[in-house]
Amino acid sequence: MLGEWIGIDQDPHSVALVNGNHRHNCVRAEVGSVRALLTGKHDLGKFDLIYAAGLYDYLEDRTATRLTTRLFEMLRPGGSVLIANFLPTLRDIGYMESFMAWHLIYRDERQIRNLIGGIDSAAVARTETFFDEPGNIVFLQVDKP
């Protein structure tokens, strides 16, 4: 059963849009940053599923690794962290960088797997990587026992 979805983003406009559109159901958004999560200033509690979409493409390896460890700590027993990252083989990178000045941090399967480096492997039940159907995005799933 779905209890509650909590969305986090540093952009107050995005957060207000989500809260405005989903006022009567179990979705809620909060303004929050990676930094606040890492420093413990934003304590959201524990979760069964934590999904980071469209975020890791902006994070350098060191921050991405620290965040992965922190998100894993925020899981309930049996919970999962799911992280998405654009692949370096994305065909549109040239267009995005040249015409949109949109510079992302791309990761392949090995690079996204390295992000679990800060987690004690004995505390992990299962790690899996997989791809979206067009092959643009790699996903990392880390499960807690």
Ligand X SMILES: C[S@@+](CC[C@H](N)C(=O)[O-])C[C@H]1O[C@@H](n2cnc3c(N)ncnc32)[C@H](O)[C@@H]1O
HSE-CB at 84 with a 13 A cutoff on CA atoms is: 12
Is 44 a binder of ligand X (CB under 6 A)? no
By C-beta, is 44 or 123 nearer to ligand X?
44
Q: Smallest distance, Å, CB 76 to ligand X?
A: 22
Is 33 a binder of ligand X (CB under 6 A)? yes
- Which residues, 112 to 131, sit near ligand X by CB under 6 A? none
Total residues at interface with ligand X (CB under 6 A): 10
Is 58 a binder of ligand X (CB under 6 A)? yes
By C-beta, is 75 or 84 nearer to ligand X?
84
Q: How far is CA 12 from CA 16, 17, 20, 80, 144, in A?
A: 6, 9, 12, 27, 31
Instruction: Give the C-alpha separation, 39 to 143, whole Å.
Output: 23
Instruction: Give the C-alpha separation, 93 to 97, whole Å.
Output: 6
Q: Smallest distance, Å, CB 14 to ligand X?
A: 5
- Which residues, 71 to 110, sit near ligand X by CB under 6 A? none
Is 136 a binder of ligand X (CB under 6 A)? no
Is 61 a binder of ligand X (CB under 6 A)? no
Is 19 a binder of ligand X (CB under 6 A)? no
Instruction: Give the C-alpha separation, 116 to 105, whole Å.
Output: 17
Tokens, residue 145: 């026992």
Site residues (vs ligand X, CB under 6 A): 9-11, 14, 33-34, 53-55, 58
